[in-house]
Amino acid sequence: MKSFFDFTRMELAGHLGSIARATRLYHSVYRDRVTAIEHFDLALPSLVSCFESADGARRYLFQLADGEVVEGVLIPEKQRFTFCISSQVGCALACEFCLTGQLGLTRNLSAGEIVSQVLVQRAEIPSGGASRFSVVLMGMGEPLQNYENVLQAIQILADDHGLAVPLHRITLSTAGLMPGLERLSKESLFPNLSISLTGATNTIRDRLMPINRKYPIEDVVGFVRGLPVSRRKRVMFEYVMIKGVTDSAADAGRLSKLLGGLGTKMNLIPLNQSPDLNFERADHADILRFQQILLKAGVTTFIRKTRGDDVSGACGQLKKAGLSA
């Protein structure tokens, strides 16, 4: 039996021979939260653990039907909740500062497994008017290496008759895979895009994010430059602040040149440290200096609050800890 959560409404309509019936089922499952219907599997991943951090962020491990485990983070914010979800079991990109990278790739998640992580997190928050949420594909995996299933999941999440998550409330975070980016730029469904830069030169980015050897930083930034303004506005860069590696004033200057005039926002992420990583978080003063340089060059730059730090902060850390326990 295939999972209900794998189907777009139109695919469902194809199976049932009726759009109206598919729409009714979408309403029942995604809105009325019906948990059993005939002929379809509505099983959700199970939550194998939950760690609540002092700042309110909750980190989860979701166990999938085959026993594999992926991470998610539920982040309460002033106006809404943010659900951070995974797109793959592990990851093939092996970024040097990322713990998921150390796990390697086990497999892609199906569209249904991506959608159902949202449903499990939704069940954890109060229902009603205040329960609006955003979805970020920033957990384990590289979404653009699982292109079809991720796009299918976005289509399902965004369906007006289902969860109806607006596209501007869905963010796809990528290390900058050019073929996937080019393809995405031609889709009618275009989520917010978060591109992980981490490295201001090819020398340093080649080391930290080996994918840069294939898709260098200037190609990635060039891609953003070539987007129509309406889409460029939906792009953001992420840059992990690592002491002595990515935090120099010179690097901030290089980034300013690279990104100046793009109108694209920048998020500085203080490294989540771990005994398994040979890096340290940049000092706060250096992060502030870095931000100031970018701001002066006209690049709107935020410093990401590190959340859930006290409950195994870094990506992949929770899973690694769980596996070795």
Q: Is 142 in the site for ligand SAH (CB under 6 A)?
A: yes
What residue ranges in the chain does DSSP mark as E strands?
46-52, 58-63, 69-76, 81-84, 88-90, 105-108, 133-137, 170-174, 192-196, 235-241, 265-270, 301-303
Active-site residue, selected from the candidate residues 52, 71, 84, 98: 71
Is 182 an active-site residue?
no
| 152 Cβ neighbours under 8 A, 6+ residues apart | 6, 8, 111
In angstroms, what is the minimal distance from the CB of 98 to ligand SAH?
3
Q: How many chain residues are in contact with ligand SAH, going by CB under 6 A? A: 16
In angstroms, what is the minimal distance from the CB of 126 to ligand SAH?
27
CA distances from 288 to 4, 89, 257, 265 (A): 47, 35, 18, 16
In angstroms, what is the minimal distance from the CB of 317 to ligand SAH?
8
Is 95 an active-site residue?
no
Q: Is 269 in the site for ligand SAH (CB under 6 A)?
A: yes
Residue 124, classed as helix, strand or coil, is coil
What is d(CA 110, CA 86) in angstroms, rounded to the nearest whole number? 11
Q: Which stretch binds ligand SAH (CB under 6 A): 36-44, 111-119, 159-167, 172-180?
A: 172-180
Q: Which of residues 3-42 bind ligand SAH (CB under 6 A)?
A: none
Q: Which of residues 179-238 bind ligand SAH (CB under 6 A)?
A: 196, 198, 238
Residue 316, classed as helix, strand or coil, is coil
CA distances from 55 to 127, 167, 203, 306 (A): 21, 27, 36, 10
Q: Is 117 in the site for ligand SAH (CB under 6 A)?
A: no
CB nearer to ligand SAH: give 196 or 264: 196
Position among 12, 44, 73, 138 found at the interface with ligand SAH (CB under 6 A): 138
Residue 91, classed as helix, strand or coil, is coil
CB nearer to ligand SAH: give 61 or 269: 269
Q: Is 272 in the site for ligand SAH (CB under 6 A)?
A: yes
Residue count (the chain)? 325
**CA-based radius of gyration for the chain:** 20
Active site residues: 71, 315
Q: Which residues bind ligand SAH (CB under 6 A)?
A: 97-98, 138, 142, 173-175, 196, 198, 238, 240, 269, 271-272, 314-315
